[in-house]
Amino acid sequence: MGRQQEPVRDDEKGRLSRSKARILLFDWIADGHHPAYARAVSEALEGLARVTVAGPDAMESAVGPSVDFVGLGAQRPTPDMSARLEPQLKEIAEQELQLMRDAVDRAVPDAFFSLYGDPVIQALGGRAHVGVPSATCIFKPFAHYPRAYRTRLSPRERKRALLFELRIADWRVRRSARAVFTLDTDAARRWRRRPGARSFWFPEPPLTRAPEVDSVEQREGCVLFGLLEHRKGVDRLARAVCSVRTGPTIVLAGSVRAGFEEYLAAEVSRMEAAGARVKLRFEVDEREGLELLAGARCAVLPYRKHLGMSRVLLEAAACGVPVVADEYGLLGHLVRSHGLGLTVDASDARALGRAIEELSGNPDAPTQYAAALASFAALFSPDSFRRAVAGPVSHALLHRA
């Protein structure tokens, strides 16, 4: 059940009070950076509302003892990639919606904030409401990519992107919808011109600790950090390493998606056979991940058609580490527009290999990018995050009659 206090209503109709409004934060994923979002939003709303977090049981220790917690059991199941995805995703979304409604019944909040609304809204659209004033955060809108970031979408991708936009629009015009957040500033601006719930930029939460940055002279090689799976582009990295004359030192760090272990081992063997020195660091926490990034000359983000922002980009910038990233979408746009490193078509092994060689083989690369990296990292300070979240939540969600 998790830790909970008795629900409080300001009067029998459950009207909101500026001093006692209760907000329920919901996320059905405990992997990756999701606990960091729950913790950061809870801290940003401290003093503004009484916060309860509903999440997988594994998330409870990460959100802090001062926050009430509603346990959801196990986290969202992973679809079977060998079977048709659409029916599975809809079934999982229905399960999530029921969990959302059950959590509302248990916590009795005045307002509800889904910290990762993409899966349930993508499948259910305007049905994904829980009967109280609501906000949601959308991580991966992408219908605007061709115009905003000059990213080509296939006809099938464009159809999927437009369908997602329609379902977001359907959610926004429902009576209980109050605010929609997104990590993509262009999407937030575009939605403001359309009817429905107000839209706001949701910055990456600030890092919980400052990285200890090694001197430039001590740095070497490159790092690929995060949840290691097919989408991370480990195979692209391996092909790139095999395309260059001198294999760099490579650190693969993070956690490994279940079922990816054998594939990862084969790609590591491939890189080692090409002369690369590969170091594996698994189950690292944020502090250890930052230390690994701070000890490298570059971070590699060769992701496959990555949608949305990447927290690794912020972590690398905070460590003063330039990146080599795929040119696709918002991530490629941020690297180019802020001068954070190099972007290439990561499916082109030679282009990716040359870019990695250019940064990892240059001891002065961190120094050359230092100012741009520091400026980008400064956009995600604790104060800026608090302003970006607390203000909109206060005015659009908690204090609306």
Q: Are residues 194 and 256 in the same domain?
A: no
CB 49 within 8 A of CB 33: no
Per-residue pLDDT tens digits of the chain, which is 401 residues long: 455 444 444 443 334 444 569 999 999 999 888 999 999 999 999 889 999 999 999 999 988 888 899 999 999 998 887 888 889 999 999 999 999 999 999 999 999 999 999 999 999 999 999 999 999 999 999 999 999 999 999 999 999 999 999 999 999 999 999 999 999 999 999 999 999 999 999 999 998 776 666 566 688 899 999 889 899 999 999 999 999 887 789 999 988 888 899 999 999 999 999 999 999 999 888 888 899 999 999 999 999 999 999 999 999 999 999 999 999 999 999 999 999 999 999 999 999 999 999 999 988 999 999 999 999 999 999 999 999 999 999 999 887 43
Task: Please tell me the total count of domains within the chain.
Answer: 2
φ, ψ for residue 341, nearest 5 deg:
155, -140
Q: Are residues 385 and 366 in the same domain?
A: no
Q: Are residues 370 and 391 in the same domain?
A: no
**Does some domain include residue 13?**
no
**Does some domain include residue 2?**
no
Amino acid in the structure at residue 107: A
Q: What is the CATH number of the domain that holds 27?
A: 3.40.50.2000
Q: How far apart are CA 74 and CA 72, in angstroms?
A: 6
**Does some domain include residue 371?**
yes
Q: Are residues 191 and 237 in the same domain?
A: no
Q: Are residues 189 and 47 in the same domain?
A: yes
| pLDDT computed for residue 8 by the predictor | 41
**Does some domain include residue 296?**
yes
Which single residue is written with the structure tokens 């991580």? 139
Q: Are residues 127 and 223 in the same domain?
A: no
CA separation (Å) from 245 to 176, 240, 325, 339, 350? 59, 10, 21, 27, 11
Q: Are residues 162 and 267 in the same domain?
A: no
| pLDDT computed for residue 213 by the predictor | 65
Q: Are residues 192 and 53 in the same domain?
A: yes
CA separation (Å) from 232 to 13, 74, 160, 260? 49, 24, 21, 11
Structure-token pair, residue 384: 């800026």
Q: Are residues 148 and 56 in the same domain?
A: yes
Q: Are residues 140 and 229 in the same domain?
A: no
Question: Is 280 exposed, middle or buried, given 0-12, 13-18 or 19+ CB atoms closer than 10 A?
Answer: middle
Q: Are residues 272 and 372 in the same domain?
A: yes
**Does some domain include residue 6?**
no
Structural domain for 390, as ranges: 22-203+381-398
Q: Are residues 199 and 327 in the same domain?
A: no
**Does some domain include residue 49?**
yes
**Does some domain include residue 187?**
yes
**Does some domain include residue 111?**
yes
φ, ψ for residue 278, nearest 5 deg:
-110, 125
